[in-house]
Structure 1
Amino acid sequence: MSTSPLLLALLGDARLPSGGHTQSAGLEPALRAGTTPAEVPAYLRARLRTVTRVEAGTAVVARAVAVDGGDLGEVEAAWAARTPSPALRANGRHLGRGYLRVLQALWPGPVDARARTWSRPVVLGLLAHHAGMGPADVARLVGYDDAQTVTAALLKLEPQDPLTITAWVHALLPDIDEMADRVAPLHLPEQISAHGAPLIERWAETHDTTTERLFRA
């Protein structure tokens, strides 16, 4: 199954009204904890191997379960078990509601009443099913969106040359493709990887109680 490149561009566009503009993908608390702008490429790769891979795998499995008419609640539970931080779980479900609005606007129709309690990757999997999107494409979408979220936030938090930032994302594209290829064959919740990122989780918990912040997470 092949997805239109234009559809992927639409869903990966920062102007999509899904709430993504409120996010830094953990960069704001990472910078507060001492991460430097020069270390952002390494931060991007660390996320891609851990939390982003979990989310991409969750979206792929959610898509497969939706195609088979299965229970997406089981996928949500698997994602939650692999996301130890309560702050990250709450934020993931906040973003899920934003993507649910996108889904209902672009592909109107009935959805499970529990969908408002599902996380971003689960709703993205459901969206991928409705859009006729293949598993590798939805995984690439998750990886690309994560990288763009981090780098867009950096431009607001610690302004850099935008072309340098673009080069960082471009250099990461082969890694995103490799990650997508690894998770694309997944079909069952128990197959989702459990690669943890303790520092990102700890920073998220600290950021959740910070009053002076630019981004929600």
Structure 2
Amino acid sequence: MKNFELTGDLEHDVVTFLKNNNYSKTAEHSIRVGKEAERIAYKYNGNEIAAKTAGLLHDISIVFPNNERAVIVEQLGLKVLEEEKIFPLIAHQRISRVMAKEIFNISDEEILSAIECHTTLRKEATKTDKILFVADKIEWDQPGIPPYINEIKSQLELSLEHAAFSYINYLWERKETLKIVHPWLAEAHNELRNGTPQGRCSWSPLRSM
């Protein structure tokens, strides 16, 4: 928090906070995700302001090292999942929620919820949850082109649910190579697999069974 004060301009504040902590690339990623979330929200008649806000703040907890994140979740008085102990990086979504609330004064549950599950999604996800989840995967923060990008974009033309499922199923088909399978992601996969309308796209949501 050194040399950092809120100005009321969220984009400026997020960028300043991250750059002050030497995370310029994350600042750029966050701006891109915010814009993409806003675009998707407009496309699907969602809450554009909430989507953009959640996009700007979703990775704000990058300032904490991976190996400290499970401990931080516990210090915040939250239950630490076993999967977060094994793969602490995944805990950043829950820490970002707290930071958005406590540092950036975000009180809207619609925004906080989306931030909290932006990496894994979860069952009974809200529209804004799904919007941020998909936007984050389209504007990913790794070098190169995402291997799933054409599929997720094509499925986004059908629905938010199709797009979210296409990414989750991409992981699901490769779950043996993952360090962990987060229980929220497993629940979202099961729900979307059973709930996504069939016959409207080139793949079947039941393919992974």
Same fold, TM-score > 0.5, yes or no: no
TM-score (norm 1): 0.33
Instruction: Answer 1 or 2: which has greater helix percent.
Output: 1
